[in-house]
A and B are shown apart, each in its own frame.
Chain A
Amino acid sequence: MKRISFKLNFVLTTLFVIGTGFFLLWVSNSFGGYWDRIITLMGIYGIMAVSYTLVNGVTGIFSLGHAGFIAIGAYTAALLTLPIQQKAMSFFIEPLIWPLNSIQMGFLPATIIGGLVAAFAAFLVGYPSLRVTGDYFAIATFGFAEIIRIVIQNSYNITNGSLGLKSIPPYTTIWWAWGWLLVTVIVIGSLKFSSYGRALRAMSEDTVAARAMGIDVFKHQLISFVVSGFFAGIGGALYAHWLTTIDPRPTSLGIMLTFFVLIMIVIGGLGSISGAVLGAIFFAFFAQWLRIVESPMNFFGINIPGIPGMSMLIFAIIFILIMLFRRKGIMGKDELSWQYIYNYFSKKAGDQD
């Protein structure tokens, strides 16, 4: 089988990125606000899914705490970009503490600070949690995410408690979302294919053997967890400025969001970065498309009432069917590289001979 050279790969990938850019430009100009919002959401979900698959797929430890880091990124960035008068208006139960009440900064620094705070939280969560393995790790990270959510819910002088933050400036455009997605994919992709990534994959296959080869398992897992937390925070910051209203209910920035991102990466294939992006696009698209099922419709003169909640039920069924019959999802652990496409088609051609 022919290997595609590095130069060709680089050129094709650059062309692909530029092509995607023009496609996004075309879509946002010609379809207007609604699709613009959906495609922006695809990019945001993509960032969340790629960062989640780094931990749950590539590293092979199973975290259920992703929403906690997303929430931290969302709240940090939103508190930094909210206009000062708006803060004074929203925080009517208890005033916002200094210095947050007198800061207002641009979107880019706020997003990066959101990511850094989330990464620091990931360090604080990961350091103790990584001492346990398997499903205990899943439960410990879930517990931390719930603690984060409950603290947000009760800290009226920092996060406005259960009232949430309103009127966050709608800064997140298609370009911010997909630009950050590109950064996420480049960083996590280089991680996956560096010697560091090979160590991660070795650990996910067999932790004990990897340790015997001299890999510091704890350190590698912690780095992967912190990087994942950073991009989860970035995703959260973009998400907050897309939603413009955030609150700490379990259904908004709680376990439900972790479920959604888990569905994306299971559909895409655990451990595949391109799979995670595809899963995120699929999820965002169908979640919108399935709204048809939930609204009343007129079918040959018969009125079918809308069924609320139907779209989530369909996702749940897809999710279980994938786990039962095609555990690899779309991509398995592979990446949608030019080599992969070339191999796929040359295999097809070979079959026909």
Chain B
Amino acid sequence: MSSSNLIQDIINGLLLGGLYALIAIGYTMVYGILRLINFAHGDILMWGVYFALYAVVALSMPWWIAFVIGIALAGLLGFTVEKVAYKPLRSAPRISSLITAIGMSFFLESLAVVVWGGIPKSFNIYPKFFNRTLIFGHVRIQMLTFFILGVTFILLLAVLWLLYRTNTGTAMRAIATDIPTTSLMGANVNNIISLTFIIGSMLAATSGIMWAMRYPQVQPYMGFVPGMKAFIAAVIGGIGSVPGALVGGFLLGMTEIIVVGLFPNLAGYRDAFAYVILIVLLMFRPTGIFRVYSEQKV
């Protein structure tokens, strides 16, 4: 493997990792607060992409307004899903909320098949300027790559700023530790949980739209596999920890690209890497890199 290939792989890995990280933030924040694996997260991502696509195709809006609308509607969808499906079950056994989350994922996928059709659509609504390729020696980089990496890093910094430098962020982190005490301190728990879902869904939709620009195809099941992998990224980083989700996302993206780069005949198994990492990790260090939860006490 030549050094230019390695640089190319590292850039692609960063790109994929950033996309995973954006999705993983939503998983890790929701898990941190509600101890719930929000299976529907990846499907909210898919809905955001469809909203953006149809804002351009059906309402002929400029692409950037369409992206904003798609992201905003995904936030609204995340808010609604929490209010309809998860809030009534907040005091139920955890396994019930998990099953409901699976049901919600199944519902959003089936609804997408009915509303948007099951046939994959091409996502070619962004300007051709993104496809221009810059050549540095032997390394070829698309403008799209710079765009995605730029947006990813700005959003990641914004989330970290929100969590660690604002009152809302403090309330979010406090709720993740202890809901009753936080509500005694005057934080509105329901609003904070809604906000968490909205932010998580909007980040996921942003990631989904950039995913669709990179791999320009949209279909109702497109969110499931990236969603599962992003969840695994969150577990790798230590679920409940936002910096952990970032590290986990980049680690997973890098691993997938670089292992295939080193051993091209493993390409067919690329989707299995995440699960292998997950299982090995669960055996030896279930708390992930950034240990947030220790073992459950009785």
Which of A32-40, A93-101, A142-150, A338-346 forms part of the interface with chain B?
A142-150
- Pair A150/B114 contact, Cβ less than 8 Å: no
Given contacts A140-B282, A208-B298, A312 and B271 within 8 Å (CB-CB)? no
**B-contact 0/1 string along A51-78, CB 8 Å cutoff:** 0000000001010100000000000000
- Pair B231/A308 contact, Cβ less than 8 Å: no
Which of B92-100, B134-142, B192-200, B244-252 forms part of the interface with chain A?
B92-100
B279: chain A residues at CB < 8 Å are 128-129, 140, 143-144, 147
Identity of the chain B residue whose Cβ is nearest the Cβ of A327 in the assembled complex: B96
- Pair A146/B271 contact, Cβ less than 8 Å: yes
Identity of the chain A residue whose Cβ is nearest the Cβ of B112 in the assembled complex: A309
In the bound complex, how far is the Cα of B275 from the Cα of A243, in angstroms?
A: 29
Partner of B114 from the list A132, A307, A323, A327 (CB cut-off 8 Å) is: A307
In the bound complex, how far is the Cα of B220 from the Cα of A309, in angstroms?
A: 11
Given contacts A255-B224, A319-B106, A150 and B111 within 8 Å (CB-CB)? no
A316: chain B residues at CB < 8 Å are 103, 106-107, 109-111
Given contacts A150-B271, A154-B268, A316-B107, A309 and B114 within 8 Å (CB-CB)? yes
Contact-size category for B:
35 or more
Partner of A308 from the list B96, B113, B221, B235 (CB cut-off 8 Å) is: B113
B221: chain A residues at CB < 8 Å are 250-251
In the bound complex, how far is the Cα of B235 from the Cα of A131, in angstroms?
A: 16
Partner of A324 from the list B88, B102, B118, B271 (CB cut-off 8 Å) is: B88
Q: Cβ of B202 < 8 Å from any Cβ of A?
A: no
Identity of the chain A residue whose Cβ is nearest the Cβ of B295 in the assembled complex: A133
Partner of A147 from the list B102, B110, B232, B276 (CB cut-off 8 Å) is: B276
Would you list which residues of chain A between 282 and 321 have a CB under 8 Å from chain B?
307-310, 312-313, 315-317, 319-320
Given contacts A308-B113, A310-B114, A150 and B99 within 8 Å (CB-CB)? no
Identity of the chain B residue whose Cβ is nearest the Cβ of A325 in the assembled complex: B88
Q: Cβ of A179 < 8 Å from any Cβ of B?
A: no
- Pair A136/B269 contact, Cβ less than 8 Å: no
B268: chain A residues at CB < 8 Å are 150, 153-154
- Pair A139/B231 contact, Cβ less than 8 Å: yes
B37: chain A residues at CB < 8 Å are 135, 138-139
- Pair A262/B92 contact, Cβ less than 8 Å: no
**B-contact 0/1 string along A144-169, CB 8 Å cutoff:** 10110011011000000000000000
Would you list which residues of chain A between 98 and 155 have a CB under 8 Å from chain B?
128-129, 131-136, 138-140, 142-144, 146-147, 150-151, 153-154
Partner of A312 from the list B113, B117, B224, B296 (CB cut-off 8 Å) is: B113
In the bound complex, how far is the Cα of B94 from the Cα of A154, in angstroms?
A: 36
- Pair A140/B114 contact, Cβ less than 8 Å: no
In the bound complex, how far is the Cα of B106 from the Cα of A316, in angstroms?
A: 6
Given contacts A132-B286, A316-B103, A320-B100, A139 and B114 within 8 Å (CB-CB)? no
- Pair B107/A320 contact, Cβ less than 8 Å: yes
B100: chain A residues at CB < 8 Å are 320, 323-324
B276: chain A residues at CB < 8 Å are 143, 147
In the bound complex, how far is the Cα of B270 from the Cα of A146, in angstroms?
A: 12
Report B's interface with A, CB cutoff 8 A: 35, 37, 85, 88-89, 92, 94-96, 98-100, 102-104, 106-107, 109-111, 113-114, 117-118, 221, 224, 228, 231-232, 235, 268-269, 271-272, 274-276, 278-279, 282-283, 286, 296, 298
Report A's interface with B, CB cutoff 8 A: 60, 62, 64, 128-129, 131-136, 138-140, 142-144, 146-147, 150-151, 153-154, 208, 250-251, 255, 259, 262-263, 266, 307-310, 312-313, 315-317, 319-320, 323-324, 327
4 closest A-B pairs by CB: A309-B113, A143-B275, A316-B107, A313-B110
* Interface CB pairs A-B, < 8 A, 20: A62-B98, A132-B286, A133-B296, A135-B94, A135-B98, A136-B235, A136-B282, A139-B235, A144-B275, A146-B271, A146-B272, A255-B224, A266-B103, A307-B114, A308-B117, A313-B110, A319-B107, A320-B107, A323-B89, A324-B89
